[in-house]
Amino acid sequence: MSDFISWVSTHQSRFEEVLKRLLPQADAMPQRLHAAMRYSVLDGGKRVRPLLAYAAGELSGAPVERVEIAAAAVELIHAYSLVHDDMPCMDDDVLRRGKPTCHVEYDEATALLVGDALQSLAFQLLSEHRLNDDAARQLQMVKLLAVASGSRGMAGGQAIDLASVGKQLSLPELEQMHIHKTGALIRAAVLLGAQCGAENNRGNLTQAQLDKLDRFGKCMGLAFQVVDDVLDSEADTATLGKTAGKDADNNKPTYVTLLGVAEAKKMAAELHRDALDALTEFGAAARRLRELADFIVMRKY
Ligand code: GRG
């Protein structure tokens, strides 16, 4: 097994335990809601955002126990967005992470509450654990995730997405949609991981360095979506663990419908290169972030 694959699998397993510990237990009242929350979050997903947070934390020298709280907050927001996105009022999908979607396994009202409760839990985690020695910096981190998930971030991107069905978008318009819908949370994962300050403050990066990481996150957020569009058009449902070809079926504009597969792949490669350029000054300390960038553009699911 390559060193990177082993790093990924160690961190995925470790993170699963973190989530199991942080989520409410299924036998605690209200049991059905808690069971549905655990069903929607545990045992599935690539955990790309938490892995990016771990890698950014390694780069900044942040204590891993702090990084994984921030990573969990981001993953809970991501999980909530998937649960809501799959509901009949949005994408109306029956399969997610290779199993029935939350509203199919439980019911629509429960799925709505699962999303609400996961979002609240994310902010509870960010506020009840010490993530940075500097309280003002920690408050900025809470704000960062709030903006990334709200109407100027992921939820706003989703609103643009819903409004764009059946419309012809220009490339800049499509880019704006995805920078918000998918990119904002990926960027937040990188920045939050990096800002979990070490007890001895070694973890504090300069603003210029954080800007470089932000550039990396922005490029990889968009690259992730371009690759997602290519996979949606090329891969099968069994490999993806979610319904393939959904965007075309729903008459949604994508990088593939706008540019064609070959140009979309070229665009992903350019974004990948720009992302790696942003890491140049970090040298060997950014090794895991580079490897994750390679994984994101080369992934098959
Ligand atoms: C409902 C507020 C709200 C937002 C929904 C994330 C999202 C916004 C919609 C999901 C639809 C979608 C297919 C988005 C494209 C990119 C994406 C986020 C894919 C899923 O993320 P992965 O591949 O999933 O990281 P896993 O299951 O591996 O965690």
Q: Which of 42, 182, 222 to mutate to test the pocket of ligand 1 (most atoms within 8 A of CB)?
A: 182
Dihedral Cα 201, 207, 208, 214, nearest 10 deg: 100
With 80 as the cut, is the pLDDT of residue 239 above it?
A: no
Q: Which atom of ligand 1 is nearest to the CA of 46?
A: 28
With 60 as the cut, is the pLDDT of residue 31 above it?
A: yes
Q: Is 178 in the pocket of ligand 1 (CB under 6 A)?
A: no
**Structural domains of the chain sorted by starting position, each given as residue range(s) with its CATH number in brackets:** 2-298 (1.10.600.10)
pLDDT band at 301 (very low <50, low <70, confident <90, very high): confident
Residues with Cβ within 8 Å of residue 287, at least 6 apart in sequence: none
Q: Whose CA is nearest to atom 27 of ligand 1?
A: 45
Instruction: Give residue-wise pLDDT tens across range 60-90.
Output: 999 999 999 999 999 999 999 999 999 999 9
- pTM score, whole prediction: 0.94
Q: Which of 46, 75, 82, 256 to mutate to test the pocket of ligand 1 (most atoms within 8 A of CB)?
A: 82
Q: Is 97 in the pocket of ligand 1 (CB under 6 A)?
A: yes
Instruction: Give residue-wise pLDDT tens across range 200-233.
Output: 555 568 889 999 999 999 999 999 999 999 998 8
Q: Is 50 in the pocket of ligand 1 (CB under 6 A)?
A: no
Q: Is 46 in the pocket of ligand 1 (CB under 6 A)?
A: yes
